[in-house]
Chain A
C-alpha cells in the first residue's frame, strides 16, 4: 500500500510540474515574423537534401525526376509532346486581334513574350495577387471579349504559349515590402500546409512528405518546382489543364469541395508556391501521367 501511494504521489507532482511549466515554445511560434526569403531557403534545402542526386533544374519535371522508368518514357514523348496541338493553338490565338483591333500583346509587358516567370505578382494598387490566368481574362474583358474558363481549353492554350516563350527562364517572383503582399504570401503558405477534405490531406502531405512515393498508381511530384511545367497535358485528363484545374481537382480528390478558380486562396497559394521555387527554370507547357 505505502509504496504504491508514494509512486502515485510522485507521478501527480510530476504532472503538476509539467502543467506549471511556461508554454514557452508555443507562444514563440505564434509570434514568427513573415520571412519569405528564409522560407524559400529552407524549402529548397529540404528538397535538395532529400534528393541529393538531382540537379536543381530536375525538380521542375516532377514525377519524371522521381522514377527512372517514367523518365525514359517521358524523354521519348518529349520528342513528340502531347501538348503540341494546344501550344500551336495558343500561339495562333495569342496573335489574333480582338474585335476592337487590340491584342493580348497590348495588355502585357514586352508584348507578352518571355514574361511568364514573373507571374504571379502582387498588384499594390489593387492589394491582391495577380496570376497569369487572371491577367489574361482581365485583358479579354478590358477589350470587350468574354472571359475563358480558367481550367482548360483556350486558357490552357494561351498559357501554354506564354510559358513556352519563357522556357528556361528562372522563376522570378517578387514580394514587395508591403504588409498586404507579405500577408498574401503567408496565407498562401498556410493554405499549402493546411489539411482539408475528408481525407485530411494538405498539399504538403503528398508533395512534401511523400514525393517519389506512390499514391495509388501515381508517382508524387516534389513541391519544389511543381508549377514550373504548367499548363500541362495530363494523360489522366486526356487533355490540357491549367494551374486552376490542378488546384481544384486536387481539392476534390481529397474530398474537399473546391473553391472557385482564381479565388483569393488559390491566387495566394500560387504566389507562395511560385516564390519558393524562385530560381527554378520554367519548363511549361508540360506533360504528366
Chain B
C-alpha cells in the first residue's frame, strides 16, 4: 500500500502533459505578452519591467527551461496588461491630481 500510492502519483505526474511546459506553450505565452506590450506601446505607456521580464522569458527558453520561460512570459503579459489598464484609466483619473 505504501509503495503503490507514491508510484501511482508519480505515474500520474509523468503522464500529465499540463505540468511540463513545452516550447509551443512558451511561444504562445510569449506571443501573447508581446502583443499586450505592443498595445501598451501604442498607448505610449510601456513599463521597463515588462521589457526585462520578456527578455528573461526569452533567455530561459533559449536555454531550454520552458517552465521558467512560460512563467516569465505570463508575468510579462500581466505587467503589460497592467500598463494598458493604467494608461486607459489615467485618461480620466489624471484630473484627480490637477491643481485647480
B76 → A minimal CB distance (Å):
12
Interface residues of B in 61-100 (CB under 8 A from A): 79, 82-83, 86-87, 90, 92-95, 97-100
Knowing A195-B90, A195-B94, say if A256 contacts B99 (CB, 8 Å): no
Q: Are B48 and A256 in contact (CB under 8 A)?
A: yes
Residues of A within 8 A of B79 (CB): 198
Q: What is the distance, in angstroms, from B59's C-beta to the closest C-beta of chain A?
A: 19
A42 at the interface (CB under 8 A from B): yes
On whether the beta carbons of B99 and A202 are closer than 8 Å, the reply is no
Binary contact track B14-51/A, C-beta < 8 Å → 1, others 0: 00000000000000000000000000010011111101
Contact between B90 and A194, CB atoms less than 8 A apart: yes
Contact B48 A193 (CB under 8 A): no
Pair B94/A255 contact, Cβ less than 8 Å: no
The smallest C-beta distance from A226 to any residue of chain B, in angstroms, reads: 14
B47 adjacent to A256 (CB under 8 Å):
yes
A46 within 8 A of B: yes
Task: Tell yes or no: A94 within 8 A of B by CB.
Answer: no
Q: How far is the CB of A172 from the nearest CB of chain B, in Å?
A: 22
> What chain A residues lie within 8 Å of B47 (beta carbons)?
197-198, 255-257
Contacts A198-B79, A200-B86, A255-B49: A193 and B97 contacting too (C-beta < 8 A)?
Answer: yes
Q: Bound complex: CA of A30 vs CA of B95, how far in Å?
A: 9
A256 touches which of B45, B92, B93, B95 (Cβ 8 Å): B45
Q: How far is the CA of A287 from the CA of B41 in the complex (A)?
A: 34
State whether A255 and B93 are in contact (beta carbons under 8 Å apart), knowing that A43-B99, A46-B99, A198-B79 are contacts in the complex: no
Say whether A208 faces chain B, with CB atoms less than 8 Å apart. Answer: yes
Q: How far is the CB of A195 from chain B (nearest CB, A)?
A: 5
Contacts of B44 in A (CB 8 A): 259, 265
In the assembled complex, how far is the CB of residue B55 from the closest CB belonging to chain A, in whole angstroms?
13
Q: Which single residue of chain A is at the shortest CB-CB distance from B51? A: A257
> What 1/0 flags go to A251-265 for Cβ under 8 Å of B?
010011101000001
Known pairs A30-B92, A197-B47. 12 more at Cβ < 8 A?
A29-B95, A190-B94, A193-B98, A194-B90, A195-B86, A196-B86, A198-B83, A202-B94, A205-B97, A208-B97, A209-B97, A259-B44
**7 residue pairs, one from A and one from B, having the closest CB atoms:** A257-B46, A193-B94, A194-B94, A193-B97, A198-B47, A204-B97, A194-B90
Instruction: Give residues in B with beta carbon < 8 Å to A.
Output: 41, 44-49, 51, 79, 82-83, 86-87, 90, 92-95, 97-100
